[in-house]
A and B are shown apart, each in its own frame.
Chain A
């Protein structure tokens, strides 16, 4: 299976900050990359699919980029409701769907 890594594992930030999370695949996955937000006690929520496509209803302050092995999720101006854990996911089951270990964004 393809291994996914994320950095940082946690980040402390303030409302209004720009936050960038990096995800790396152990081998090339083209653009088969999704990003999710999960809040405590809740199911994950799809933010970005196909590396850079914004899911319907997701605020435009979220953006994704990258292809191949290196990907980035950016929150342009952190809002109070954005404090959560973020996961990247290799989104091609024929390559073996795998999630990154997560990045927790908390209040500075």
Chain B
């Protein structure tokens, strides 16, 4: 079965760092880009950026450039999204998704809820 499995929910304090993960299985991980998508509570979908796992080349949305880092370890078929200093406004559900036919996303992870609160 082709799937993306994300790491579990996180509760953090402002200023803390965090890395969440997305593990692909059932397909060639290096053959498809992985994107990250944010959904704030009760809001719509926002594309954050993507990575080519074959060479770790990244593209970021201007809205997220410099605020997060996307990386990947192809040896374990895992992509990551990380923050060096979280803010309360980072509280959201984060999804990873596989790029298909351009950047249509055919496989999605189950989501990782990140809560940032003092």
Contact = CB atoms under 8 A, between A and B. Distances in A.
A52 B101 CA distance: 12
User: B-side binding surface: helix, strand, loop or mixed?
Assistant: strand
A68 interface: no
B59 interface: yes
Nearest to A31: B102
Identify which of B62, B97, B104 gathers the most chain A CB atoms within 10 Å of its CB: B104
A91 to B, nearest CB: 5
Contacts of A32: 102-103
A44 B45 contact: yes
Interface centre among B37, B45, B102, B108 (most CB of A within 10 A): B102
Interface residues of B, number: 25
B101 A50 contact: yes
Given A87-B45, A99-B47, A50 B102 contact: yes
A17 to B, nearest CB: 24
B100 interface: yes
A27 interface: no
Given A46-B104, A91-B103, A92-B102, A99 B45 contact: yes
Contacts of A81: none
B7 interface: no
Contacts of B53: none
Interface of B: 33, 35, 37, 44-47, 50, 59, 61-62, 95, 97, 99-106, 108-111
